[in-house]
């Protein structure tokens, strides 16, 4: 082993490795001691929020709004149903309203509350217990009112979308029943007589006449 090789090995053993160990240890300790951060992916303008800076009920409301808003963006933004929101989609007022609520109003309300929370030198109890002047609510209650209003609006939009798509489904069912002259199926009040009728229908299908009718229907579908 030459002198240069020995010096290089000493440099690695007593210089590089200890420095790398100190750096990795520092990163590990920093990660362990860093406060847990909250992230709401559908509302990136909120940024990363320290978990301890928000009460539990506000975190719950934000999580609900984040989930519902993400669904509503797809429902009202992806108008051509191609799985993505782009320039090919038609912009409507409902989608713009959802965007404004999630990108502007929610982040502003949370930022205002956090400023009130940070005014207290203690644990932020002032924002949770002190009434705002000329009002009967605390900073926390004011934020909850904002979030509750938005959450209720999102519920209304989701319900409207459910009933709209449900009507489309019913219309398709009625069209197909009329097209193939199939009686509507009811799941209410079904009894043993219905089962007997079903068995009679199965036996009919197993006869040549039933097979012929079955083939005629298949031909009708292919048209």
State residue 79's pLDDT score: 79
Distance CA 135, CA 149 (A): 18
Q: What is the pLDDT of residues 163-221, one digit of tens each?
A: 999 999 999 999 999 988 766 555 554 444 444 444 444 444 344 444 444 444 444 43
Q: Which two tokens stand for residue 84?
A: 């993505």
pLDDT digits (tens, 9 = 90+) for 55-98: 889 999 999 999 999 999 988 888 787 877 777 878 889 999 99
Q: How far from chain centre, in Å, is Cα 28?
A: 32
In angstroms, the Cα distances linking 82 to 69, 160, 190 are 19, 21, 41
With b meaning 16 or more CB within 10 Å and e meaning fewer, what string describes 57-95? ebeebbeebbebbbebbebbbbeeeeeebeeebeeeeeb
Of 155, 150, 161, which Cα lies nearest the Cα of 79?
A: 161
Token pair in block for residue 91: 């912009």
| Phi, psi at 29, each rounded to 5° | -65, -40
């Amino acid at each position: 082993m030459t002198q240069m090789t020995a010096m290089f090995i000493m440099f690695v053993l007593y210089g590089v490795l200890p420095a790398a160990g100190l750096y990795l240890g520092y990163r590990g300790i920093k990660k362990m001691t860093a406060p847990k951060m909250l992230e709401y992916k559908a509302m990136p303008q909120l940024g990363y929020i320290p978990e301890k800076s928000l009460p539990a009920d506000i975190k719950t409301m934000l999580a609900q709004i984040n989930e519902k808003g993400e669904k509503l963006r797809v429902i009202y933004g992806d108008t051509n149903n191609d799985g993505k929101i782009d320039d090919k989609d038609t912009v409507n007022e409902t989608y713009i309203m959802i965007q404004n609520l999630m990108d502007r109003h929610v982040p502003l309300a949370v930022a205002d509350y956090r400023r009130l929370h940070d005014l207290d030198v203690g644990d932020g109890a002032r924002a949770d217990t002190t009434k705002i002047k000329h009002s009967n609510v605390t900073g926390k209650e004011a934020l909850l009112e904002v979030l509750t209003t938005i959450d209720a609006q999102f519920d209304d939009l989701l319900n409207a979308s459910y009933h709209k798509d449900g009507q489309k489904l019913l219309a398709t069912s009625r069209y197909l029943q009329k097209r193939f002259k199939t009686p509507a199926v009811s799941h209410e009040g079904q009894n043993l007589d219905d089962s007997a009728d079903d068995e009679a229908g199965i036996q009919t299908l197993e006869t040549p006449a039933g097979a012929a009718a079955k083939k005629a229907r298949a031909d009708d579908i292919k048209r």
